[in-house]
Amino acid sequence: MDNQRRIFWLIALLSILVLVPFLGESLFYSKGEPREAIVAVSMLQSGNWILPVNYGTDIAFKPPFLYWCIAAVSWLTGEVSEFTTRFPSAVACIGMLLFFFRFVRRRLGQELAVLTTLLLLTSFEVHRAAVAGRVDMVQVAFIVVALCLLYAWDEQGRKRFPWIAIGCMACATLTKGPVGAIFPCMVTGVYLLMQKRGFWKSFGWMCCFGFLAILPYCGWMYLAYQQGGQEVIDLMLEENTGRFSGTMSYASHENPVWYNFLTLIWGWIPWTLLFVASLFTLKRKTKEDTATDGKVVESKPAQSVAKAQGWMARVRGWWKSFCQQDPLQLFCWLAVLLIFIFYCIPKSKRSVYLLPIYPFMALFFAQYLRRLAEQGSKLFRSFSIVFGSLGLLLTLLFFAIRLGLVPDAIMGHGRHAAENVGFLHALRDNYFDFAHWLLILIPLVGALCLLRLCRKQASAHAHLYGVAGMLLCLFVALDGVYQPTVLSTKSDKKIAQRLTDLQPEGAIYSYGLYFYSINYYLGDRLRHIEREAPAGGSGFLIVPLFEEEKMVAELSGRYTLKPVFQTSYRSCDARAQVACYYFYNRP
């Protein structure tokens, strides 16, 4: 096996070991993942793979590609679980990493490809999306692969029809909507224009590719309309055009423009910290360097005119150099800028929306960090010390918690104090087997190796890769031990188990569509009491406390309501305490 293949398979193995083994360790702790999982459950239970209904009357908010993937994996394993729900996202991320690795290696060399892939794998935002059972990473992987394939299509002289790229855009569109085709066509179209390929040819190609890519989505919409009628059309329009134009029936992740900048900074932690710190080490010109010795000093009006002309010349020069840069650099810049600007327009903004630009940003970060390393920057050694110390502190803090040295009072007395105390108790009291203790010690081993590099006065390149390795050690420990232990206290599974004890079979009702986690752990037995009349006129009902008064006022005329229990903790779905009632028809 040659060196290139060996490195490729090492990257593949590393990606699998970091992302896959712990996908099923954490219970569902927010409504997003179980809302996707329950659609796959209803697909397998009903056999309806076009428009399955869950929660009694609820249809999916997104097209079905992710649900098909979850259902297919779950059919092979025997059930829909936390692991099978998250597995498609992890596979999509690994596929994207390996494809982009080969894309960069073929054009810029193996060293830069390896560094780019490691930066992507250690990006907080990419990692979070890769281990979550949501539509975002699956859609992003198809968009990124389609962009790379369309660039290769132009690079090779546009001789063959890019069917694979169109197929990727079609899958992206079937995952989350038309942006799966819009982004690759938009970026490639602008790139072709800047490369002077001709306006009408470029426009025609992109319209053709986009039309072919959106056909499967239109076919699914037609079949879904046959089952769900106008409700399906209204929902898809709201989720796409309504979200973009800000005309949705409810406020959805509305944020200002600066939110996108903030999420990029946070999503690239800690590499953005290294980038910002490096700016202070750049050499600046002194006054003596810029002095105008021997030059005639002009009058102020003349200086103003010259300054204005100078700025215009600078802008023209910048634009000319931007257009004439290396084609791959230009394409990557267009992918970053156009998608970022696109998502600055709508009111709805989320950090995961910007995921398609992360691979191309990773390439720029890799080029910058490699240049710093070649210059022998001491920043890498400083970051090795910081992250080595962080690994040591994390391990020491965990042992302090296990020994009971961290008091509950440290969590304060605020709104989330009880929840935080629950996290603390989970870390202190949970049983860990031998495998878990090995995972707990991984950050300690990584920290010792990193600090050893500092002691040996290793090269800047060694420190750069050492920091990346330390981050992967932290991700493994967090995914394998800390996150499952802590987040299990947030999960609504215990509420579902309590309801199952009260009523092992049959429908259980909720007031409002809030409880997707409970519905998943009940096996899709929840029903919406305002939309579906209870069989027999009696049953159990759950309601978030902020809706309790309204529920009593609305239902007390029809039913007798008897309180059964009230949770002392907040539901992860409703973000409020939950009350359970037994109800029956009034005599």
pTM here is 0.91
Q: Shortest CA distance to 518 belongs to which of 55, 71, 70? A: 55
Q: What is the pLDDT of residue 290?
A: 43
Q: What is the pLDDT of residue 255?
A: 81
Count of other CB atoms within 10 angstroms of residue 397: 13
Q: What is the mean pLDDT of the chain?
A: 88
Tokens of 84: 């099978």
Q: What is the pLDDT of residue 288?
A: 45
Q: Shortest CA distance to 200 belongs to which of 191, 209, 189? A: 189
Of how many residues is the chain composed? 587
List, for residues 208-241, the tens digit of each pLDDT value: 999 999 999 999 999 999 988 888 888 777 777 6
CB–CB of 542/577 below 8 Å?
no
- Write the CB contacts of 31 (distance below 8 Å, at least 6 apart in sequence): 514, 515, 516, 517, 572, 573
Segments of the chain scoring below 70 in pLDDT = 1, 241-253, 282-309, 412-415, 587
Q: What is the pLDDT of residue 291?
A: 45
Q: What is the pLDDT of residue 464?
A: 92
CA dist 332 and 187 (Å) reads: 9
Cα 245-246-252 angle, rounded to 5 deg: 135
- Write the CB contacts of 405 (distance below 8 Å, at least 6 apart in sequence): none
Q: Shortest CA distance to 37 belongs to which of 135, 128, 129? A: 135
Parallel, antiparallel, or unpaired for β 508-510 and 526-528? parallel
